Structure 1
Amino acid sequence: MSVDVTAEGLLEAFVRYMAYERNASEQTLVGYRGDLEAYIAYCRERLGEEFAPSAGDLDLVRGWLSGMMDRGGKASSVARRLSSAKSWYRYLVKVGYLSSSPIVSLKAPRQERPLPAYVPTSELERILEPVESPSLREVRDRLVVATLYECGLRRSELAALRTIDVDLERRSLKVVGKGDKERIVPFGISLAQMMQQWSEIRDREFGGSDSFFLTLKGKPMKGSDVYSIVRAQLASVPNLARRGAHTLRHSFATDMLNSGADLLKLKELMGHSSVATTVQYTHTSFRQLQQVYHAHPRAQNNTTIMDIRIQALHFDATEQLKEFIRKKLDKLNRFADDIQAAEVLLKVVKPEVSENKEASVKLLISGNDLFVDKVADTFEEAIDLCVDVLKRGLEKRKEAHK
């Protein structure tokens, strides 16, 4: 049988290899295919002829990545596409098409890690509050959120759960994660009761099912269905930059650490191959930082250190802007000694008008959070306006407690 050595043929062979020999997920395969089709199209346009990968393609890859950066592409997107290209060239070396990869030493642009989105426990408790005479949709959607949050699953893992994977007696899930790796995830009595309720309603409506979670039409659920459910359920949570299933997975990890969970055990629960990945998924526990800080004898009477979390929607905030925000918010400690954290969200609301920079600030204070958002010509002005409002709010709060 002849081997198709066109760029498209080599791409298809690579995708089959990743699917059948590396057990890559459908989402990963779609990403590889899209990235590499874009690369092949770029090479054809630049060369003005058919493209065949070779050991001399370094400049082609550099030009492809540079073009994306020049058009305002995010560093994270450029890094992902470079990773796809590296994987493809490694495969071509593996199968003997190339003797070496031309981009083995090419580094991705440095990218700033955005602060992971986190859903406060109080908001999750509100969302999961039981309702009287719930519909099938309400029972299922609450259970989807609860399972993602209490078990730390990926959306693809939840969608793939089979009825036989759910052991209500032992209160455990058998989860198949990335690379077809299996793990056992325990859960509590409350979640077991919710699962039992869903199982009974589901079976009455659709009969027995191999898939544990179903759509409202009785079909097995997909990852995209899970995303839509979670996004709708988290719509009412204020000041949340991202509202997908991964936000709940991150919230699971953060709350586990805040409750004293061991990082290595958490790694196993989340199905990570490396503890370094687990660390990236978690907020630094502010409660742990406070405990360490207050252990020092000179720190006993000092005010708490404010944890300032800054998120920028659809753009990268400069370090200068972040430092400006930190300095402004740090001054609020003079008006209250129990501010635990400040969550800042920056976004451009209407690009066509001058006053289009919106800043939202939420102060997390024991017993009474404060929230304000302001729009101005610059983010610095918007932050100044927010800080003025928060100062007045803290002063009123202080007067009320006298």
Structure 2
Amino acid sequence: MSKKNILAMLIMATMVLSAFSGCIGEKETPTTTTAPKPSAIVFNSTQLRPPPETEWVTTKLLPQFEKETGIKVTFVPEEYVPFESRLIGEVESGNVKVSVAGGLYGDFSLLMEKEYLTDLTGIDLPNRTFIKTFWDLSFYKGKQVFVPWMQATYILVANKKALEYLPEGADMNALTYDQLIEWAKNIYEATGQKKFGLPAGPKGLLHRFVHGYLYPSYTGKTVANFNTPEAVTMWEKMKELWKYTHPSSPMWDAMGEPLLAEDVWIAWDHTARFKTAIEEKPDDFVVLPSPAGPKGRGFITVIAGLAVPKGAPHIDEAKKLIEYLTRPETQVETTKGVGFFPVVEEAAGELPEGPLKVIAEGVIAQSGASDAIPAMLPIGLGEKAGEFSTIYKETFYSIVIDGEPIEDVLSARWAELKALYEETGAPYPAPG
């Protein structure tokens, strides 16, 4: 065989071997690549910061998600100021580390204004019905900037002994303030006792009742209509209610104990301050939505949401975590674990019978009411936030307890309130 033929055969053999090894290589080294699964996504939150709550998140809540999806989650609880600074800094630097941000509605306010949150419109969240009030709040300039996550609020609790004195035709789950006054009056006339109570003590939350419940219900606003004819009518009604209010109310900081002792049969307070009473005697009490006034059913909503910072890594994984945290069954576990209440309607039906179910049903009925007017806590006041609370509480004391002229008190306090907002430049809390 000539040298030329040998050389040709060697070249052909080399080509065959190369082709064969190329076929093997296609199995070992794909020509297309997929994005690597993250070692962990960062979940930054202003909520669930206390050590017992953080422990519950890391040992109970997130392990189930990690087991189901294979996605690890690093939970980073943080105070509001560093939380906001971190997210703004990351977005503006283009180096975003946080995939999911959890916070109160007010915690997102500046991020919403700067448009630093990802539009989540169309996110796939099947088999759950979000309370419409909260779903509507999650949109800003036509974009969904967060998904409702958890809620806390203030409610009305009544001993079942009071129910026989309800005004004729009144629906206890849709009371008006006029009916509440008549209810308290009926009890007083039948028993000779003042069985309605408010936490009007030095550390009580009376100011929340005034700015978040009374003012929106009667005037449609929290701040803007502080000194108006509608407000005058409201205070006249409160003076009437006070006639049937337990005289120890100005000494009570919380209403759980007075309810247990049956000093009062009807009381308003924060859900957390009723929890022990309802746990001890769950069959004795009903939890009711707060009453409505001429403008609607004003109530404070402490609503927490889940957002994705603009430019966040691992968007698909972030959406999976949001989907998991808002499932009805996860919402139930959250209520049982840390005491925040559901934002999806189906969750109430999945809670086991007992005190938490009693409270949750009342909370969901209040926030889901057709005439609901959600009111937010004040934001942007900084160190002067206490002045806001003092103005509302002392207005109640001056008018209702001390009997000072309504118009004079409103005029003086409105000047203080207006000056507070002019000095701080803070926005009025919703509804305005």
TM-score by length of 2: 0.26
Give the number of the structure whose alpha-carbon radius of gyration is greater: 2
TM-score, with length taken from structure 1: 0.28
